[in-house]
Amino acid sequence: MYKTKRQRGVVLTSVGIKRLQSAILSVEIVENKGEHLTLEQISSRIHVSTRTLSKLWSLSESVDQKTIKLCFSAFNLELRSEDYTILNKANETETSELLSIANIGEDLSQRSELTSFVEKSHTQTEQIENLWSYPDGPIPLDSHFYIERPPLERKVYREVTTSGCVIRIRSPKQMGKSSLVLRLCAFARKQGYQTVNLNCCQFDSECLNDLNKLLRRLCWKIASQLGIDPNLKEKWNEEIGYNLSSGFYLENYLLEQCQSPVVLVLNEVDRFFEYPHICHEFFALLRSWCEEARHNPNWQKLRLVMVYSTEEYISMNINLSPFNIGLPIRLNDFTQPQVEDLARRYSLDSLKAKDFAQLMTLVGGHPALIQISLYYLCSQEMTLKEIIEDAMANGGIYHDHLWRQLIKLQQNTRLAKIYAEILVAKQGISLNPIEIYKLEGLGLIRFEGDRVLPRYDLYHAYFAKQLYGA
């Protein structure tokens, strides 16, 4: 009498699946630019068939131990005893007991998750890919790294639905203005509005030295983004002057054709401050358009959003300035709870209250600098201690940001000299309001009572070295 030959194989445990899953995700990020590996690519890497791999993922059939070992070694893992368990096909009772011991069959949702392992890997790869993307520029609409700053979002959403409204969004660079504008425009489009988002830095110096050329270029850009033929040759009336001509063009040509409100965003409008011979007239014209919206049906379709870093530091008649009307929005630093919220989104759950206190002593709640800090902590390239020490020594991971600020200071020797005085001042010093506006517009200072101080410890350490060689 012959004994029945027992066909013995192994299956992955939940521990083994998780270890292998993490290893595959790491390879996808490092070697495959974040793109998930297909079953065929994994098969080729391990040198086993896709059918065998399907067995491995599904837990429905066993595979030999050599296959699992090949799979782990292909992703730089050493196979451990807790990664797999023996499955005996000839003995269903033994199989049931072993599965129970390995805790594989106790959770049906987990079994379903493991059955679709490759699909889950793709989803997680996309999530981790976001963490590995260097934080630079506006935060995309679909990113979960955008931190809301109540009640600002609610206020701008409500205001933009008001006929002929003006919204003024002001803060230093890299504080989140562009990210907020993206969401404001997205909200407006959901209401059925049309949006025009213009960056005033795109206007060349030829335009900024000739108001007629500037207004023609502005109207051309607005028409283009609205999908309307600019037709400036026929619709621009030189005989009545460029101020009236631009107003008639917008009212009777562009806005007349728009059936829904138009949100016009002018980013970096403080660029015009550098051209005082045209900026007074340009801003007075903007103000006149806003006043037309109080009684003119076509102008009421216009919602003007001005985005800038520096308060008006040119002398303007208050009745001609657009900077004292409409809803003012000021973006400030993140609060500590907001920084902690962002850290959780980076899965940095190990950070303690003292860690956040140290980080915010260095860079405050500056959105861009906080994002950069969390990026490096998440990617495990540096510890918090290393980030702080390197930053205080030579700027560290914030060097690009600091370098841009330094260039702006060096372009204005008077401003650089004043900032150098602020760095060493033991008590309040007297400053010209225009100089305060400029330094505040750069985000370099803060106020403490009657004292003007460097905004962060980082700024104090870095600029003291650069301006004094300390």
Please give the order of strands across the beta sheet that includes 327-330.
194-199, 262-267, 302-308, 166-170, 327-330
Whether pLDDT at 263 is above 60: yes
pLDDT tens digits for range 268-288: 999 998 898 899 999 999 999
User: The whole model's pTM is what?
Assistant: 0.73
C-alpha span between 413 and 427 (Å, rounded): 23
Whether pLDDT at 3 is above 70: no
Angle at 51 between CA 92 and CA 73, to 5 degrees: 95
Tell me the sheet residues that pair with 86: 10
C-alpha span between 254 and 221 (Å, rounded): 11
Secondary structure E strands in 286-362: 302-308, 327-330
Check residue 302 and give its pLDDT: 97
The residue type of 321 is: S
C-alpha span between 144 and 140 (Å, rounded): 9
Burial (0-12, 13-18, 19+ Cβ within 10 Å), 239: exposed
Instruction: Please give the share of the chain, as a percent, with pLDDT higher than 70.
Output: 85
pLDDT tens digits for range 315-335: 778 888 999 999 999 999 999
Task: Please answer whether residues 454 and 445 qualify as being in contact, where contact means their C-beta atoms are separated by less than 8 angstroms.
Answer: yes
Least confidently predicted of 1-5, 331-335, 436-440 = 1-5
170 Cβ neighbours under 8 A, 6+ residues apart: 177, 307, 308, 309, 311, 328, 329, 330, 331
Structure tokens at 52: 């065998």
Q: Using only the alpha carbons of the chain, give its radius of gyration.
A: 31
> Which candidate, 198, 193, 190, 241, places its Cα nearest to that of 219?
198
> Which candidate, 264, 267, 272, 270, places its Cα nearest to that of 205?
272
C-alpha span between 289 and 4 (Å, rounded): 93
Structure tokens at 340: 């902690």
Assign 18 a pLDDT band (cuts: 50, 70, 90).
Answer: confident
Check residue 192 and give its pLDDT: 97
pLDDT tens digits for range 115-135: 444 444 444 444 444 445 789
